[in-house]
Structure 1
């Protein structure tokens, strides 16, 4: 995807399933989320517009080693981490759900905040990544991120991406810079 391209998903390929969600957030404003499942590539791609009107793409690529890739559409940067067992299960659950089974926001919906630290000076070589991540992050710098306890008082939160999964779990993923 070149910078300046449309934020929406491309036409689904054969074997893909496209599901659009409009979610009522905790705070009230609506946010949009579209999930594109591509079983042939073993990927689930979420196109998200958050409450703060920022758009992002979150890619779950379960092929080979498995990666989760975050791409804020207002930036020419991608953030990457290796999949964990919960990520793999989430991707599998999403690919098996039908539109009417996707999350409904009610008292059963669980909200979490997850902090990912951007590892300074740890730019990733795209040639070692799968086709899906290379395609999403074409013409972008790619940096490793890792889970953290939060930015602490001395670090500011850089950006947050809100995403909801079929398991009625919504996660606000917030990025901050780690010390070198």
Structure 2
């Protein structure tokens, strides 16, 4: 309320008048605040919708018969968002080796039990074909048939002179091979004079089991 004065011929007359300016300013300020809040909420919702939802990790188990017919369990973790497939292979002595397929970067990393090293190799087409069934299947249990399972053996020679700096590897490989030396490997048939040091057996839902055996190439 604002007091107003008006002049007449003989005297000043006091009159009461009401100013509407403060009232209008309040509503204009309130409307601007609401508009700002709506704009912020709209932008936040748009950003949330534009980001792809994170996909949960899928855990699967592959049961397959070994060479003697005894069933073996192999656990699998599938990260579809980062295109990673990790296989945990348990030895008869209940010690675990890990094989990581990094599909995005085209690499396989082997971390065998009882070894202070990790071993790298580049994926070939057969590797992509084998992990495809794991990457795009949503089942949690795969039962392989002993009569239909195809068994293969791959020999990988360890290039001892080409050790890899762990810090230059991608994060999944760094975490897997922390505090270990990392060496490149190449596929090659060993001669009879070369000793095979260890093997890792891995199986895929396509009824293919691969025994990957490592040996060290001469310097």
The TM-score by the shorter chain falls in which range?
0.7 to 0.9
- Gaps of at least 5 residues in structure 2 are 1-53
The structure in which a higher percent of residues are helix is 2
Aligned-residue Cα RMSD (Å) equals 1.9
Which aligned segments of 4 or more residues in structure 1 are displaced greater than 4 angstroms? 51-54
Contact 1:101 1:166 (8 Å CA) reproduced: no
The number of residues matched between the two structures is 166
> What's 1:144 paired with?
184
Contact 1:97 1:166 (8 Å CA) reproduced: no
Query: Is structure 2 residue 205 aligned with structure 1 residue 166?
Result: yes
CA separation of 1:93 and 1:21: change in aligned 2, threshold 3 A: closer
Query: Is structure 2 residue 125 aligned with structure 1 residue 85?
Result: yes
TM-score by length of 2: 0.70
CA separation of 1:52 and 1:29: change in aligned 2, threshold 3 A: farther
| 1:41 CA drift (Å) | 1.6
CA separation of 1:82 and 1:117: change in aligned 2, threshold 3 A: same
- Correspondence for 1:44 among 62, 68, 85: 85
SS in 1 for 2:135: helix
> What's 1:128 paired with?
168
SS in 2 for 1:102: strand
Query: Is structure 2 residue 57 aligned with structure 1 residue 16?
Result: yes
SS in 2 for 1:106: coil
SS in 1 for 2:147: coil
Q: How far apart in 1 are the matches of 2:97 and 2:193?
A: 26
Structure number, greater radius of gyration: 2
Higher relative contact order (CA 8 A, sep 6+): 1
- Gaps of at least 5 residues in structure 1 are 1-12
| 1:39 CA drift (Å) | 1.0
| 1:31 CA drift (Å) | 2.6
SS in 2 for 1:135: helix
CA separation of 1:78 and 1:103: change in aligned 2, threshold 3 A: same
TM-score by length of 1: 0.84
